[in-house]
Structure 1
Amino acid sequence: MSFFFLTAVKGDMPVHILELIIIRRLDYLKDVLKGNTLVYNEYVVEGSLYDNASHFMLCVIAILGENVGFTQFFLRAEVELFSRRLASLTAYDIRSFAKKLIRSIRKHAETVSFFDPLLALLRHLIIKDMAQHLCLSTHKTSCKDHNIKLNFKHCLDFIARREVELRNGVAFIPCSKWKQYLSILFRNNLRLRIQKTDLAPLKSDTRVMDLLMKMKSEFFPCIVKSPNTLLSREVDSVSKWFPPCMLNLHNNLRNKHRLSHTQRFHYSLFLKDIGLPIEEAVDFWRLEYRQSPNGNHACCHNWEKDEKKYLYGIRHMYGLEGCKKNYTSVNCQRIQSLDNACSEGGCPFKSFDNPKMIKLLQNSSETILAEINELRRKNMYTLSCMLYLNSIGEKNCDNYSFNFTPVKYYTIASKGSSCTIAPLFSRFALSPKAAATMKGAAFPVKYDGEIYDLKKFLRDHPGGVNTLQVYEGKSIKNAMQKFGHSNNAYHMLNDLKVAGEPEDANLTGGLSANGRIITNEEGEQDGEDIAFLEELEVSYTVFIAK
Structure 2
Amino acid sequence: MGPAVALRVREIDELWWHYPGHQTARRDGSGRGWPCAGSWGAGPGAGRPAGEMQFSSAQARGKHLWLSGDRRQLYPHSLQFYLEPPTEDISLSEFESLAIDRLKLLKTVESLGVSYVRNSDQYNSKLASELRKLKFPYKALADDDYEARRKDHISHFILRLAYCQSEELRRWFLQQEMDLFRYRFSQLTDNLMQKFMEHVDLSFEAISEDLKNELASELSTSTPGFTMSKVKEQMFYKVGLADAVDLFRARRVFIKDGFAYVPFKDIVAIVLNNYRAKLSKALALTARSLPSIQSDERLQPLLNHLSHSYIGPDYSVQKSTGKISLEQIDALSVKSFPLCMRQLHKALRDNHHLRHGGRMQYGLFLKGIGLTLEQALEFWKKEFIRGKVDADKFDKGYAYSIRHNYGKEGKRTDYTPYSCMKIIMSNPPSQGDYHGCPFRHSDPELLKQKLQSYKIPPSGITQILDLVKGMHYQLACQKYFELTHDVDDIGFSLNHPNQYFTESQKLLSGGREPKKEVSNSGNTQQKNNSQESMNSNSTPTSSNTTTDAELEGLEAYFTED
TM-score tier by shorter-chain length is 0.3 to 0.5
| More helix, by proportion | 1
Structure with higher RCO (Cα < 8 A, 6+ apart):
2
What TM-score does the superposition give when structure 2 sets the normalisation length?
Answer: 0.37
What TM-score does the superposition give when structure 1 sets the normalisation length?
Answer: 0.38
